[in-house]
Every structure is written in C-alpha cells, then in structure tokens.
Homo-oligomer: A and B are copies of this chain.
Amino acid sequence: MKKLLIASTSTIHGGSYLSYLSNELDEFFEKVETVLFVPFARPGGITHDAYTEIARKGFSSLGKNVVGLHEFRDVSKAIEEAEAIFVGGGNTFLLVSQLYKNEVMTPLRSAVLSGTPYLGSSAGSNITGLTMQTTNDMPIIYPPSFKTLGLVPFNLNPHYLDPDDQSTHMGETRETRIREFHQFNNQPVVGLREGSWLRVAGDEIVLKGKLSARIFEQGKDPYELSSGNLLEF
C-alpha cells in the first residue's frame, strides 16, 4: 500500500526545518532507521552535500539517519533498497531534469507503489502529481518532459497564496495562473497553503494541518477543503 506525506513546505515561518511536521513524521517513519534523501532540487543552488546536511539535522531530532542519493553509484538500487524516501524542495525544473537524467523516475515510482514511505516537500511534493505544470518555480533548466510520478490523480500547487486585495502589483495571481492551466489541462489542482500537508494511505488522501486547501477543478469555481477531510474527485 502506498504511503505518502505531501507537504506544502519544509519550514513554516518562525519554525525550524520540518519542526511543524514532527508529530506526523514520528508516526510516519516509526519503523524507519535511515531515510534516503533526494537533494536534486538544490534550493538557492546549494550543493547536494550541503542540502543533505540540512535534511540530516532536521531528522536527527527524530532519531533518524539520513543518506543522500547522490552518495550512491547505483541510484536505482539505492531507491529500491531504501527504507523510506524524502525528496526535498527547491527548483522543480532542476529536480525533474535530474530525476530523468539519472533515470530514477521509474524506480522511484515503483518503490512508492510497492510501499516505501515517501515524504515530499514543495518541489518534492509537486512531483507526486501527474505533471509538474502547476509549480511556482522558474524554468532555469529545460527538462525532457513535464510528466511526473503520478502517485496521486491530480496536480499540486505548494505554497498556495491567496490573492492580495491590497496589492498594486499587476503580475498574475496564483488563481489566474491555475485558471490558465485549466484552459489546456483537465486534471484537478490542489493548492496547499503553508503548513498544510496531504497524508496518503493507499487510495485514501486526507488534508492535514491548520488551514484549508483550495481545490481547482476544470470548469468549476474553486472551492475550499477543510483540514481533516478526505480528498476525493
């Protein structure tokens, strides 16, 4: 049975790395000693080593070891043998490019479908959806495809931001962008606000965290899903 935590962000304002998720992570990774970390999204362009060190610190308070995927020669085997996987945030175009380049998209999908627990934050959450086309990131690198893991039957928009009525800025709001997406694509989009996450157990998907999520379906007005509720389309 597939088990995922799909988090909007790794860190909420005023908190430390993953701290807002610590209770959930304790339970989710209960039987896990070592988490395999995928550092490919490189937030702010930091190195794989530096990023893995951040994840290592974050997980040390939970009593878990962390190893970086970049430390393995046979990345496919590393994924296959992992007790649990965490794909960190950063730039989604870079992450997806690297997943294709290193040929880990398929083994990653297989591992999660066969029950390896998967934690994603931000870009690492984006790739659990059908495509990466509702990312907020800049296209700093050209990936061979926008198709992602398809572990859930929709797309994600992490760090979802409500339109600011007070703003004088004329750039598009997040809602406008997702409406444009639905001119060309028909999968639903789940806008996850900061501090929200989805817990996936098989086909059951629950929204967790303090805030509601904003759901966009093609041809419908967007609507809110309250925390604690099942996500169903």
Contacts and interface: CB of A to CB of B under 8 A. Distances in A.
Nearest to A11: B170
Given A11-B170, A159-B171, A142 B146 contact: yes
Contacts of A136: 138, 171-172
Interface stretch (A73-81, A104-112, A176-184, A223-231): A176-184
A12 interface: yes
Interface stretch (A31-39, A40-48, A206-214): A40-48
A84 interface: no
A24 interface: no
A134 to B, nearest CB: 6
B42 A177 contact: no
Interface string A7-18: 001011110000
A138 B142 contact: no
Contacts of A116: none
B44 A176 contact: yes
A201 interface: no
Given A91-B180, A168-B13, A180-B45, A134 B138 contact: yes
Contact of A44 (B12, B133, B170, B179): B179
Contacts of A42: 180, 183
A161 B94 CA distance: 23
A42 B139 CA distance: 20
Contact of A139 (B11, B12, B135): B135
Contacts of A11: 170
Given A168-B13, A170-B11, A170-B12, A140 B184 contact: yes
A183 B12 CA distance: 26
B138 A146 contact: no
Contact of A169 (B140, B159, B182, B184): B159
A54 interface: no
16 contacts: A9-B170, A13-B168, A42-B180, A42-B183, A43-B176, A44-B172, A45-B182, A90-B180, A94-B180, A133-B141, A136-B171, A137-B172, A140-B177, A140-B184, A142-B146, A159-B171
